[in-house]
Amino acid sequence: MHALATIVKPLPEDLFIAHDGSAETRWEAMAGQGYHTPNDRFFVRNHTATPLVDAATWRLRLHGDGLRCPAEFGYDQLRSLPSRTVDTAIECAGNGRRFYGGQQGRTAPGTQWGLGGIGVARWRGVPLRVLLELAGIRRAAVDVLPQGLDAPFEHHGHVRRPLPVDKAMADVLVAYEMNGETLPPDHGFPARLVVPGWVGIASIKWLGDIEVATRQLFTPWNTEFYPGLTTQPVKSALELAWNAPLVYGRGQVIRGRSWSGNGRIVRVEVSFDGGATWHRAEHKGSRLAGAWLPWHITWVPRRLGEQTVMARATDETGATQPLRTPHHPFGYHFDAVVRHPVHVIPG
Ligand SMILES: Nc1nc2c(c(=O)[nH]1)N[C@H]1C(S)=C(S)[C@@H](COP(=O)(O)O)O[C@H]1N2
Ligand SMILES: [Mo]
């Protein structure tokens, strides 16, 4: 399976790194961009392939013993309900997986994402809470199970992962717009879930069906593939190519972004000497919980050749990026400081 065969939007090499069935955003393609990741460079992670869904016949079905009045919504109906706009990240649990091997000497199986398995968009849609209330959610409801309309994944059936009812009622969106445009096919048209702060797999695309149950639900996506994963840890990335050339003796503004699924980023420090000394990066405020904090720092390289730039962020819960992440058998949640190589060239 090749990414080109399963993703609809163009994947130019200057914007994406192609993986099997998925496309990773190049961080250097975020340089000079605004706060949000433009739709043309937002990463795509598909279990199978992007389906083309006809909005005219599409229905979102809500059913299960956790509802008093099972309901169905069409596309126009969904768009006519009260909407909310949220700036939030969607990040694959495996983002950064390649550094288990590349930096810690122990490769983890799966797509070898660098740090480009994340994007922040302005999502607009209907709070899931509104739909659940229209369908008469019961006090006894425990789990909410959204399911995608994409083809079944191997022998596991349609992509689906339960959410606890508390999260479903709190801040989850049934989104139909991304950065002011109709939700693109690769990102879940006609509608997807957006689950702020949580692993990307929670944000089910091509939503077709939501079961609400008065018992805990289990699918391969909360038992076998992503057991126990809820929120995403703290990470940072530089808006620079790997081995980017930087000019010796000249002040250069290094830009990056840091994020956490558990709260706002409150501090970012950068090291140019392998972690011996750290310097505070500049940023405006602490920006949003559930999205990222853009920052910058000026550096005058005083040594030619290979050097590393390291960024380390801390969120409002006090969680800081470690220098090493405990090994994870599936390569999830790599949150260690990444050693980003740059190449200092004569001016
Ligand atoms: N129906 C469905 N939803 C899905 C997926 C999928 O393959 N099918 N992939 C999940 C995973 S693993 C991630 S990381 C995000 C990626 O969202 P994006 O492709 O819009 O960036 O979607 C999630 N939702
Ligand atoms: Mo993912």
pLDDT of residue 284: 86
Cis peptide preceding 196, ω within 30 of 0: no
- State the fold for domain 2-223: Sulfite Oxidase; Chain A, domain 2 (3.90.420)
39 lines ligand 1 (CB under 6 A): no
Residue 203 near ligand 1, beta carbon < 6 Å: yes
Return the best residue to mutate from 37, 46, 97, 172 for the ligand 1 pocket (most ligand atoms within 8 A of CB).
46
pLDDT in tens, 81-97: 999 999 999 999 999 99
Q: Select from 170, 216, 215 the least CA-distant residue to 193.
A: 170
Q: How far is the CA of 202 from the centre of ligand 2 (A)?
A: 9
Model confidence pLDDT, tens digit, residues 130-140? 999 999 999 99
In the chain, where are the structural domains located? 2-223, 235-345
137-192 pLDDT tens trace: 999 999 999 999 999 999 999 999 999 999 999 999 999 999 999 999 999 999 99
**Ligand 1 center–CA 193 separation, angstroms:** 10
Question: How big is the chain by its Cα radius of gyration, in Å?
Answer: 21
| Ligand 1 touching residue 204 (CB < 6 A) | yes
Tokens in use for 65?
A: 């013993």
Q: Give the pLDDT confidence of 23-43 residue by residue, as tens digits.
A: 999 999 999 999 999 999 999
> What is the number of the ligand 1 atom nearest to the C-alpha of 193?
24
The CATH number of the domain covering residues in 235-345: 2.60.40.650
Distance CA 95, CA 72 (A): 35
**Owner of token pair 């059913």:** 63
Ligand number nearest CA of 111 is 2
H or E stretch covering 89: strand 84-91
Residues in the chain where the model's pLDDT stays below 50: 1-4
Q: How far is the CA of 248 from the centre of ligand 2 (A)?
A: 39
Nearest ligand, CA of residue 41?
1
Query: Residue 177's CB: how many other CB atoms inside 10 A?
Result: 17
